């Protein structure tokens, strides 16, 4: 079956670099799935994300998104309206001085009629829980709120895919929770395809697929449970285990027989409680 995002032997090199940032990446992402992309700084994970809406084009190979070749210039807008991109720095992606004007930016670019824009803006702000802030000035919001406005700004395009490039890297724990729960809700309620680029192990746990990038290659690909059971591999890639996975591993090594593995907090506690009670 064809995926909604397809990478075919993709190579990419920035003109100023010696080395390739992506090397022979082939990948299929199913519609409606939640894929987390993990890797250390400079592993190519952001470069990968930027290929998903034609901000970057492969130097070799090709990328198909919703059936459109990202190199197909005349179809660029058609492609981009299907892929909402959220970036790391919330300040640098908000374009207007009033929240609702910012959310209206993309639908305005799409040339929609004013009533339709209004409807989408209100719906998008509602979905991220920021409707009551619609007349606020973005620079006075908290980091988590700004990032939710940025998410509203892309879902107002009514995209099928949302790609988040380290959306929580600059946020405090509360902001991080706000953004993650918003993303999970969008997926649950709207069936959106989600790609989350991150270096926080914990954020990968709710994903149904985890890709680990290293030096421009896909170094591991599987469910979070599968990948977080490969301790040595992760260490080689410069990554940590989430605390839950570390605990389950150490307890198993100490001889406890634990039922197999959910990695979220509740699942982990469940497993441990089962042998202790």
Partner 1 sequence: MLKDITLGQFFPGDTIVHRLDPRTKILLVLLYIVALFLAVGWLGYGLSVLALVGGMALSKITPRNLFKGLKPLIFIISLTAAINLFYTGGTPILPGWIVTWEGIDRALKMVLRIVLLVTGTFLLTYTTSPMALTDGLELLMKPLKKVRFPVHEMTIMMSMALRFIPTLIEETDRIISAQRARGADFETGGLIRRAKALLPILVPLIVSAFNRAYDLATAMESRCYHGGEGRTRMKQLKLKRVDFAALALGAAYMTAAVLLRNYGI
Partner 2 sequence: MAEIQVEDLRHVYSPGTPFERTAIEAVNLALPQGQFVGVIGHTGSGKSTFIQHLNALLLPSGGRVLSAGEDINRDKKSRRDIKWKVGLVFQYPEYQLFAETVYEDIAFGPRNMGLSVEQVDERVREAAGFVGVSELFERSPLELSGGQKRRIAVAGVIAMRPEVLVLDEPTAGLDPEGCAQIMANIRAYREKTGATVIIVSHDMDGAAALTERLLVFDKGRLVMDGPPEEIFSQPGRLTAMGLDVPRPTAIALALEARGVQLQGPVYTHEQLTNAILRAYRDKEGGRTPC
* Footprint of partner 2 (CB under 8 A): 40-42, 88, 142-143, 169-170, 172-175, 199, 201-202, 238-240, 242-244, 246-247, 250-251, 254, 256, 265-266, 268-270, 272-273, 275-277
Q: Minimum distance from CB of 36 to partner 2 (Å)?
A: 14
Q: Which is nearer to partner 1, 68 or 96 (CB)?
A: 96
Helix (H) or strand (E) holding 210: strand 209-214
Q: Minimum distance from CB of 92 to partner 2 (Å)?
A: 13
3-state SS, residue 190: helix
Q: Which is nearer to partner 2, 189 or 266 (CB)?
A: 266
What does the buried/exposed string (b/e) look like for 197-206 if buried means 16 or more CB atoms within 10 Å of the residue's CB?
bbbbbbbbbb
Greatest CA separation for the chain: 65
Q: Based on C-alpha coordinates, what's the Rg of the chain?
A: 20
Q: Which residue has the tokens 């389950």?
A: 248
Spatial CB neighbours of 53, under 8 Å, sequence gap ≥ 6: 65, 70, 79, 80, 83, 85, 163
How many other C-beta atoms can be found within 10 angstroms of the C-beta atom of residue 16?
5
Q: Which is nearer to partner 2, 135 or 254 (CB)?
A: 254
Q: Half-sphere exposure (CA, 13 Å, Cβ side) for 128?
A: 30
Q: Which residues of the shown chain bind partner 1 in the complex (CB under 8 A)?
A: 50, 53, 55, 77, 80-81, 83-85, 87, 89, 91-98, 100-101, 104-114, 117-118, 121, 135, 137, 139, 153-154, 157
Q: Minimum distance from CB of 32 to partner 1 (Å)?
A: 21
Q: Which does 135 bind (CB under 5 to 8 A by kind): partner 2, partner 1, none?
A: partner 1
Q: Minimum distance from CB of 196 to partner 2 (Å)?
A: 15
Q: Minimum distance from CB of 73 to partner 2 (Å)?
A: 32
């Amino acid at each position: 079956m064809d995926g909604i995002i397809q990478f075919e032997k993709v190579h990419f090199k920035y003109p100023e670099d010696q080395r390739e940032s992506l090397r022979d990446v082939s990948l299929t992402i199913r519609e409606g799935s939640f894929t987390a992309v993990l890797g250390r700084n400079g592993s190519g994970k952001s470069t990968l994300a930027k290929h998903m809406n034609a901000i970057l084009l492969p130097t070799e190979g090709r990328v198909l998104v919703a059936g459109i070749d990202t190199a197909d210039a005349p179809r660029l807008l058609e492609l981009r309206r299907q892929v909402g991109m959220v970036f790391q720095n919330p300040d640098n992606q908000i374009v207007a001085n009033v929240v609702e004007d910012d959310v209206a930016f993309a639908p305005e670019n799409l040339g929609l009629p004013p009533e339709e824009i209004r409807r989408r803006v209100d719906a998008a702000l509602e979905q991220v829980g920021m409707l009551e802030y619609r007349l606020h000035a973005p620079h006075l919001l908290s980091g988590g709120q700004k990032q939710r406005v940025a998410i509203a700004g892309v879902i107002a395009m009514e995209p099928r895919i949302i790609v988040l490039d380290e959306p929580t890297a600059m946020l405090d724990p509360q902001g991080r929770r706000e953004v993650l729960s918003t993303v999970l809700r969008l997926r649950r309620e709207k069936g959106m395809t989600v790609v989350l680029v991150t270096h926080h192990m914990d954020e990968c746990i709710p994903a149904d697929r985890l890709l680990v990038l290293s030096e421009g290659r896909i170094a591991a690909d599987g469910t979070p449970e599968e990948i977080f059971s490969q301790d040595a591999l992760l260490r080689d890639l410069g990554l940590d285990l989430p605390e839950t996975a570390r605990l389950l591993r150490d307890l198993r090594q100490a001889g406890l027989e634990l039922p197999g593995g959910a990695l979220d907090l509740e699942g982990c506690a469940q497993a441990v409680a089962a042998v202790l009670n």
